[in-house]
Amino acid sequence: MSKDLSTRIDSKENTYLVNGEEVKLTGSIIKNYLTRGNDDISDTDVVMFTNLCRYQKLNPFLNEAYLVKFKGAPAQIIVGKEAFMKRAEDSENYDGFKAGLIIDRKGEYVEEEGSFLTPGDELIGGWAMVYRKDRKFPVVAKVGMNEYDKKHSTWKQIPQTMIRKVALVQALREAFPKNLGGMYVEDEMQDAEVVEPEEKVKKEVKSKANKEEVKFEKTKAVDVELENEEQTDLKDTPFDDEPEF
């Protein structure tokens, strides 16, 4: 895009309503405050993000949507799980859901509701069922850990919660394609690793540690003579006041 067009995109205000509240977006706001990663997004990315937010009535300032851009990879539009739930609940045909885990329990595959494991259970995947009032059967989604577990810190800490969430958003999207089509959560996007500042520092320290050799120059000990010829032994020096502790 030309420089003039890019400037207009950065400054042009796009205003729309979400639940009665005004949301105002500009290219500059999106680039500076609503994009994560380590690379700059293009003006095309800005336009696509703005149009998705307007069409789907998403409020990015409530973390319902944001952009992720890493060097060497295309920009990705990420939507929060809460936005999926809100869109589904706005539909008059939404009739609830069930979601849980697929586990290996003593050699037998078991589907448990919720995200709780008992000792000895091996987590295999997640499942979800979304009900619509106008359909006879629920929409079912089943996903495997081997496909979505990216070994990031969050997946290591709460794998049950993460895989259950992926299954649920997939079932919601299939059940309500008009409301949720083209929307994906971060955990479904294989390249969307958002590194928090603290985690980023830890990774940089680990990658750079002990790679540079620091050399110290050897110095010779130098005897320094006191200016006064008489040297006083501090042990024999009387103090007027004893120190207080």
Residue pair 97/168 in contact by the 8 Å Cβ criterion: yes
Give the tens place of pLDDT for each residue, 123-169: 999 999 999 999 999 999 999 999 888 777 788 899 999 999 999 99
The count of other CB atoms within 10 Å of the CB of residue 2 is 8
Give the tens place of pLDDT for each residue, 63-78: 999 999 999 899 999 9
Helix, strand, or coil (residue 100): strand
- Token pair 């997946």 is at which residue? 155
Strand 139-144 to strand 122-132: parallel, antiparallel, or no bridges (unpaired)? antiparallel
Give the tens place of pLDDT for each residue, 171-182: 999 999 988 888
The region of weakest confidence among 26-40, 109-123, 230-244 is 230-244
Element spanning 22, H or E: strand 21-25
Q: What is residue 211's predicted lDDT score, i.e. its pLDDT?
A: 46
Q: Which amino acid is at 205?
A: V
pLDDT band at residue 101 under the 50/70/90 scheme: very high
Look up residue 132 and give its two tokens.
């619509």
Spell out the domain ranges in the chain.
Answer: 1-79, 81-180
Residue pair 171/163 in contact by the 8 Å Cβ criterion: no
Q: What is residue 208's predicted lDDT score, i.e. its pLDDT?
A: 43
CA 67 vs CA 18, 57, 140, 239: distances in Å: 19, 16, 28, 69
CA 7 vs CA 12, 14, 15, 38, 122: distances in Å: 8, 14, 18, 22, 54
Residue 85 burial (10 A CB sphere; 0-12, 13-18, 19+): middle
Single pTM value for the model? 0.68
- What is the arithmetic mean of pLDDT over 98-113? 96
- Token pair 């089943």 is at which residue? 142
Look up residue 42 and give its two tokens.
């293009």
